[in-house]
Amino acid sequence: MTDTAIATAFAWEALDSRGKPTVACEITLRDGSTGQVTVPSGASTGRHEARELRDGGLRYDGNGVRDAVGNVNTVLAESVRGIDSLDQPQVDAALRAADGSDDLGRLGANAVLAVSIGTAIAAAAAQHLPLYRTVDDTGRAPLLPLPMVNILSGGAHAGRSIDIQDFLVVPMSATSFSDAIEICSRVRRGATQVLAERDLPVALVADEGGLGPILPSNRSALDVMVAAIERAGFTPGADAAIAIDVAATQFHTAGDYVLAAENGRRLTSTELIDELVAWSGDYPIVSLEDALAEDDWHGWALATARLGGVQLLGDDLFVTNERRLRRGVADGVANAVLVKPNQIGTLTDARSVVAIAHAAGYRTVLSARSGETEDSWLADLAIGWRTGQIKVGSTMRSERTAKWNRLLRLEAELGDSAEYAGAAAITTAPHPVVSAL
Ligand code: 2PG
Ligand code: MG
């Protein structure tokens, strides 16, 4: 047995940024190296995601994770003991085998992810290397990602004040990561000023640190975005563009899309696409996430045909799942994939989704969850996997800034030895390598 073999996995129940319980875990290797992780969790989860284990019952309104914690401390710890932490695929295969179910719902995807990521962090510590280097299998220069930053929230992240879940800013003219963050931060401040002038509340923030104003319509959020960009002194489109996470699964009911914030206006797939086409003509929109619901493959194909000029990003649609992504690629659906490690449960599976996407010419956006933690490993994964883009919420609240600050540090430290992805990451698709599929 090597010194980098896993000795113990020790888990406990912690809290995420929404005050909900989540699994925290420390992996210890035989040489004494440790890796600590606290796993994130979503609010607008897709039906096809790996399944978190929650206790039910009275504690935390049923959201306790003591069973998942117990599973780490017993069966999962046992399943990985003695495996070399440097062999992440073997560790993840052992975790999958221990669970035995497709969606990891037996022992809990939250339990499995804790051991998977904790192992990667411990392995980096054992090698005295930063995580972005030990997860890098590309052999290329580290790539700092283009950020997309949440400004306005609705849907499940803001008490459904509007139906669309997220309006984000994309810093198009920045030539470095730090300049990009500055643009986003100034637009966030601009949005506060614009809303305050309209006597809308700005003191309370939504789950991801964005503003959650009650607006007369979904479209009016786009007017606020443009006003915020201008208020910050930027030119909409050229300096700062708009990305939207429609999160359409959330308001898809009985085959229709129902906009509760607009007096229950009902739209078919085609009508929702018409609306998005109109928005894209009237506003500088560069990315549309979950434009249609998770199983509306037909609608998605129509959307791709009509809106393929912008980034069409599948979140609930692909759920970081290789099978669903391959179906999308085969059917020509979407052109980008949102990657959330906890949607699939292991680091190895998330990594292979990034590789498959790039081979197919699909862009990748690494993403945090609405329920986040103080961890920063997501920043390292974005750099090491060269995802090109990252989304972690607003430029405020510590669970968000933990990731931005890690990227800012790495930018400062790496200097010229790192590249910055820039706006090209969202406007140009990677070259497909069809033979790799
Ligand atoms: C999303 C994420 C992050 P949640 O839908 O993309 O914004 O939200 O974690 O609630 O799924
Ligand atoms: Mg989403």
Decide: 44 in ligand 1 pocket, CB within 6 A. yes
Contact 411, 177 (CB under 8 A): yes
Classify residue 72 by its DSSP letter: I
| E-state strands within 261-305 | 265-267, 285-289
Decide: 247 in ligand 1 pocket, CB within 6 A. yes
Half-sphere exposure of 3 (CA within 13 A, CB side): 6
CA 83 to centroid of ligand 1, rounded, Å: 33
Neighbours of 109 (CB within 10 A): 29
Classify residue 372 by its DSSP letter: -
Ligand at shortest distance from the CA of 157: 1
Decide: 166 in ligand 1 pocket, CB within 6 A. yes
pTM: 0.97
Ligand at shortest distance from the CA of 148: 1
Report domain 143-427's class: alpha beta
Query: Which helix (H) or strand (E) segment is 19 a member of?
Result: none
Probe ligand 1: pick from 49, 207, 316, 370, max atoms within 8 Å of CB? 370
- The answer to whether residue 391 is catalytic is no
CA 365 to centroid of ligand 2, rounded, Å: 11
Q: What is the CA radius of gyration of the chain?
A: 21
Write out the two tokens for 349: 């599976």
For the chain, residues classed under CATH 3.20.20.120 are 143-427
Atom of ligand 1 nearest to the CA of 247: 5
Ligand at shortest distance from the CA of 209: 1
Contact 4, 30 (CB under 8 A): yes
Q: What is the distance between the alpha carbons of residues 166 and 422, in angstroms, rounded to a whole number?
A: 21
- Phi then psi for residue 236, to 5 deg, are -60, 135
Write out the two tokens for 18: 């929404």
Q: How far is CA 184 from CA 146, 193, 240, 393, in A?
A: 11, 14, 8, 11
Decide: 369 in ligand 1 pocket, CB within 6 A. yes
CA 320 to centroid of ligand 1, rounded, Å: 13
pLDDT in tens, 270-328: 999 999 999 999 999 999 999 999 999 999 999 999 998 999 999 999 999 999 999 99
User: Residue 181's Cα: distance from chain center in Å?
Assistant: 17
For the chain, the average pLDDT equals 96
Atom of ligand 1 nearest to the CA of 369: 9
For domain 6-129, give the CATH number: 3.30.390.10
Residue closest by Cα to atom 2 of ligand 1: 369
User: Residue 235's Cα: distance from chain center in Å?
Assistant: 27
Decide: 45 in ligand 1 pocket, CB within 6 A. yes
State the catalytic residue, choosing from 289, 294, 340, 403: 340
pLDDT in tens, 109-141: 999 999 999 999 999 999 999 999 999 999 999
CA 16 to centroid of ligand 2, rounded, Å: 18
CA 141 to centroid of ligand 2, rounded, Å: 29
- The answer to whether residue 20 is catalytic is no
Q: What is the distance between the alpha carbons of residues 169 and 310, in angstroms, rounded to a whole number?
A: 15
Virtual CA dihedral for 221, 43, 265, 310, nearest 10 degrees?
A: 60
Give the list of residues 6+ apart from residue 263 with CB closer than 8 angstroms, or none. Answer: none
Ranges under pLDDT 50 in the chain: 435-436
Decide: 370 in ligand 1 pocket, CB within 6 A. yes
Task: Write down the pLDDT at residue 351.
Answer: 98
Atom of ligand 1 nearest to the CA of 370: 9
Q: What is the distance between the alpha carbons of residues 262 and 260, in angstroms, rounded to a whole number?
A: 5
For the chain, residues classed under CATH 3.30.390.10 are 6-129
State the DSSP string of 244-264. EE--GGGGEETTEEEEGGGTT
Q: What is the distance between the alpha carbons of residues 357 and 80, in angstroms, rounded to a whole number?
A: 29
Write out the two tokens for 191: 């949005």
Q: How far is CA 262 from CA 18, 163, 220, in A?
A: 28, 8, 11
Q: What is the distance between the alpha carbons of residues 246 and 273, in angstroms, rounded to a whole number?
A: 11
Probe ligand 1: pick from 16, 166, 294, max atoms within 8 Å of CB? 166
CA 315 to centroid of ligand 2, rounded, Å: 5
Angle at 376 between CA 383 and CA 42, to 5 degrees: 100
Atom of ligand 1 nearest to the CA of 45: 11
CA 41 to centroid of ligand 1, rounded, Å: 9
**Comparing C-alpha atoms, which of 304, 268, 327, 308 is closest to residue 48?**
327
